[in-house]
Structure 1
Amino acid sequence: MPHSPLQLLDGLLDEEGLASTAHRFVLGGPFGAEPAETTAERLAHFADAGGLLVETSHSYAGGRAEAAVGPWLRANPGTLGVTTKVGHDSTGGDIPLSRDTVFAHVRSALENLGVETIDILLYHCDDPIRSVAELADTLVSLVEAGHARRVGVSNWRPERLSELATELGERGHTPVASYQFSLAEPDPALLEGSLHAGSAVLDVVRGHRLPLLAWSSQARGHFARTTPKEHHGKPDPYDTAENRDRRVRCRELAAQLGSRPETVALAWTLHHPGVWPSIGPRTTAQIDNSLQACRLTLTEEQVHWLRDGR
């Protein structure tokens, strides 16, 4: 019997059996900002390749992303699980996470996606003026209402994430965490409030055994190109001396393995148990390129060398 996305997500906590499968990848991309036929083609190709989870947000593409994914999900029920995020307006700005606002956005997301229940629902941001207990109560209420199967947060400070994990644990839930995580560590000043899963976040994730959805797992193409690329008219947050050195090492190891630098970098992310890398391919060929990382098994020495050069 095939596994559901949520069974596999829970199975990753056992750190066994799934390290080399396409199940570990989460499909993102420019939903709502590309032709509908392209979206349908990418979703079908990802599902056929063994992918199980698609990622979007209530705010992406000016609020159009969920509705772009919805028609395919409705036409192919049960084929792909879906994770979405609420807490940003259509411009990407944070909004207050009051219970009424969150429920209204979730009901809208359900309608847009055409599903009865969202597999993984995340707060896209924190609302620091509210207690973690209040925000946890809202998440539990969403599960109890049947709106979500699994809940979690993105871009929370590690101390708030730890408190949430405790609060939800006492209510019988293990939250999903969502942060930037890749071999390339971004300049935090250029991430515009988003957070990289550094050592403090990873300590919480590992201490509470939380699944980690790793967005920008390919560092916005850093390992596939040779020159920096602006992001929304701003400097490339991944263009640092340290990350350029890591790209050089990826090229060296890729040459030895008969692979590509970006594939090696993605295999580095896959090496970490309990991490689900989110990929943003724009074509089916790019999906296939990303899935090649499943076929690379890196040694512990290679993993450390890629990151630290020793």
Structure 2
Amino acid sequence: MPRSPLQMLDGLLGQEGMESAAHRFVLGGPFGAEPAEVSAARLAHFADAGGLLVETSHSYAKGQAEVAIGPWLRQNPGTLGVATKVGHDFTGADIPLSRDTVHGHVRAALRSLGVETIDVLLYHCDDPDRPVAELADTLVSLVEAGYVRRVGASNWPAQRLSALTAELAERGHTPVASYQFSLAEPDPAHLGGSLHADRAVLDVVGEHRLPLLAWSSQARGYFARTEPREINGRPDPYDTVDNRHRRRRCLELADQLGTRPETVALAWTLHHPQVWPSIGARTTEQIDRSLEARRLQLTDAQVGWLRHGR
């Protein structure tokens, strides 16, 4: 009997599914900031294309993103899993991660999403004033309460992520990590306080074989553009000298392969077996363009050349 999408999701998030690229795309996008019918069409298209997981946050769109996704999930139960994050208020500011606050936000997320259990629940930020053991206990309590299936953290310093991984391992859990990760390495000074999966983070991810949900996996459209632009009133964090060279190499390889440079860049991200690229598509056509990356089987030499030029 074929496995359901959520059974497949459980397997892929487990150790045995790390090598499969077929279903590792995660759908993000402007849920809550667009007409409901646009969100519904994009969710349905992604599911029909074999997608398994939609990604959002309790704080996105001033708290309306989960509300926008909920009706489609209720009408299509068991079709897509959902990953959401808690730890920001509706302005995007960090909040204290007390057990009561986290549980309250998760219960609100469950009501908005209209699901009995959240598939992946992530801390949206760290709370450095709290011991990692306390934060791990809160995550485990969410699983034990039946609120969530998998837990993890986004934008934690590597040392704290390593400590959280150890604490959760003692409690029988392997966390999911979530960081910015793409072929374009951003300038952290312009990333707005979020963290890129740098070498230290990737060492933790690799050592413990953590699934890595890679947000901005297409570097906010950097490889599809040729002119610099501002993002949220700040300089584009991806517009660096090194990334301009990477974009040029993507264009060169795309010409050879008969595809688009942004597709090559996304295939580079997908080449990393523990990485789940999150695509912030705004249209069904953009979903299809992103999914084209699944057919590009880059060699290790091409992957190295795209990143380092050698």
TM class by shorter chain equals over 0.9
- Report deviation, 1:9: 2.8
Q: 1:260-279 CA distances to partner (integer Å, 9 max, x unpaired)?
A: 00000000000001110000
SS at match of 2:235: coil
Q: How does 1:258-277 map to 2 (within 5 A)?
A: 258-277=258-277
- Report deviation, 1:34: 0.6
Q: 1:184-242 CA distances to partner (integer Å, 9 max, x unpaired)?
A: 01100111211100110000001111100000000000000111221111111101010
Query: Which residue number corresponds to residue 103 of structure 1?
Result: 103
Q: How does 1:12-27 map to 2 (within 5 A)?
A: 14-16=17-19, 18-19=20-21, 21=22, 23-27=23-27
Q: Distance in 2 between matches of 1:204 and 1:165?
A: 9
On the 8 A contact 1:263/1:289 being kept in 2, the answer is yes
Query: Which residue number corresponds to residue 229 of structure 2?
Result: 229
Code of the residue aligned with 2:192 in structure 1: it is E
Q: Does 1:47 align with 2:47?
A: yes
- Report deviation, 1:92: 0.3
- Report deviation, 1:14: 4.9
Q: Distance in 1 between matches of 2:28 and 2:15?
A: 20
State the superposition RMSD in angstroms. Answer: 1.0
Q: Distance in 2 between matches of 1:15 and 1:91?
A: 35
Q: How does 1:133-282 map to 2 (within 5 A)?
A: 133-282=133-282
Q: 1:106-140 CA distances to partner (integer Å, 9 max, x unpaired)?
A: 00000000001000000000000000000000000
Q: Distance in 1 between matches of 2:292 and 2:147?
A: 35
Code of the residue aligned with 1:46 in structure 2: it is F
On the 8 A contact 1:13/1:274 being kept in 2, the answer is no
- Report deviation, 1:2: 2.1
Query: Which residue number corresponds to residue 9 of structure 2?
Result: 6
- Report deviation, 1:10: 2.7
- Report deviation, 1:13: 5.2
On the 8 A contact 2:40/2:72 being kept in 1, the answer is yes
On the 8 A contact 2:9/2:52 being kept in 1, the answer is no
Q: Distance in 2 between matches of 1:43 and 1:276?
A: 17
Code of the residue aligned with 1:65 in structure 2: it is A
Query: Which residue number corresponds to residue 35 of structure 1?
Result: 35
Distance 1:170 1:141, change over 3 A: same
On the 8 A contact 2:122/2:151 being kept in 1, the answer is yes
Structure 2, unpaired ranges of 5+: none
SS at match of 1:138: helix
State the TM-score, normalizing by the size of structure 1: 0.97
| Count of residues in Structure 1 that have an aligned counterpart in Structure 2 | 307
Q: Distance in 2 between matches of 1:62 and 1:228?
A: 28
Identity %: 76
Q: Distance in 2 between matches of 1:7 and 1:226?
A: 39
